Amino acid sequence: MSKLFSPIALGPLQLANRIAIAPMCQYSADHGLATDWHMIHLGHLALSGAGLLILEATAVTPEARISPEDLGLWSDAHQAALKPVIDAIRRYSPIKIGVQLGHAGRKASSELPWKGGANLPLTDPRGWQTESASAIPHAPGETVPTALDKEGIERIKASFAQAARRAHALGLDAIELHGAHGYLIHQFLSPLSNQRTDEYGGSLENRMRFALEVFQAVRAAAPAEMAVGMRISATDWVEGGWELEQSKVLARELEKLGCQFIHVSSGGLSPKQKIPVGPGYQIEFAAAIKAACGMPVIGVGLITEPTQAETIISSGQADMVALARQMLYDPRWPWHAAAELAAEVSAPPQYWRSQPRQFKTLFGPTTLGQR
């Protein structure tokens, strides 16, 4: 039997298989409000057969957005705009739904990727003042962020907690905190971006403090039936930056606080990074962190082939795999993987007649008698 299509639990969350749809920014919100694009985009991904769909990086404050068009969850209006999307998915799909809550920190106030993705300066009417662990810009010439004081740190922790409450009110199943890709939590973790001299800077213990306190705030705000985890960058890919051994320590500390999964990515903090991109290039980090802690580990990064994903799970390198760009390119990837691996996958009955004759039990034995 396929290990990829075997069930798994992330704390209280029971998943039908080990395929997650990774968060993918769409830059299509209206002042943070979900739009028709989200209904279309998330709706068709919800019919993919994956076990878990994680909504894109969702800002906890207006300043937390990567771009002016990022999705947000900082007010009742944002919750209300997202509700019809979630309700529609629930009507037609058994997929479990999570949301990635994040704050872009010094990488906020950026142009859309298809318009170059450059920093929007304060002189641009669409730009805003960014904030970070220290007053160090992401790249030379970009907006110098405001170094967060204690009041600012408390404000952001409270914003994460309030967004978690709204996620629960929406009926979501899981929360993933965005601690990767050079965004605010990552900025506190890395010595390249954190040069503070207070209890949030300097030693590894101090640099982890913000990440752990944000997790605690969210865990306390979310009810026990919601799974809460974190996505991290295992390494900055820059000498002297955040690296794997520190990630192992962070994973163990998160686990002590009740973290129920960790999603292992890499990079994003510095333009000096040198990443040897290739198929499954981050899986070795997932395997190392899995060996260092007891919670489920999600591996991600150029996972494109069913046999590749099956090997990652069956060999114990990760407990789940997450797909992003591949899922955009092939939104029925789980169907095709199940066919190749002789497994079953969930599909809406409206689509049962689509299964090829050689895979007549792909959608389960209930489809055998269809006319």
Other Cβ atoms less than 10 A from the Cβ of 139: the count is 12
Reply yes or no on whether 183 is catalytic. yes
Asked if 1 and 338 count as a contact pair (C-beta separation under 8 A), the reply is: no
Cβ neighbours of residue 305 closer than 8 Å, sequence gap 6 or more: 279
Tell me which residue of 277, 40, 106, 79 sits closest to 163, measured CA to CA. Answer: 79
> What span, in angstroms and rounded, lies between the C-alpha atoms of 370 and 349?
10
What is the per-residue DSSP string for 109-127? SB--GGGT--B--TTSTT-
Asked if 103 and 109 count as a contact pair (C-beta separation under 8 A), the reply is: no
In degrees to the nearest 10, what's the CA dihedral of 283, 286, 287, 292? 160
What is the per-residue DSSP string for 281-306? TTHHHHHHHHHH-SS-EEEESS---H
Task: Compute the Cα dihedral for 74, 72, 54, 242 and give only its sign.
Answer: negative
CA 352 remoteness from chain centre = 31
> What span, in angstroms and rounded, lies between the C-alpha atoms of 279 and 340?
19
Q: Which residue has the tokens 């809550």?
A: 101
* Crossing angle (nearest 10°) for helices 333-340 and 306-314: 70
> What span, in angstroms and rounded, lies between the C-alpha atoms of 251 and 33?
33
Bridge partners (DSSP) of residue 322 are 20, 300
Given 27, 92, 183, 329, the catalytic residue: 183
Q: Which residues does the annotation mark as catalytic?
A: 183
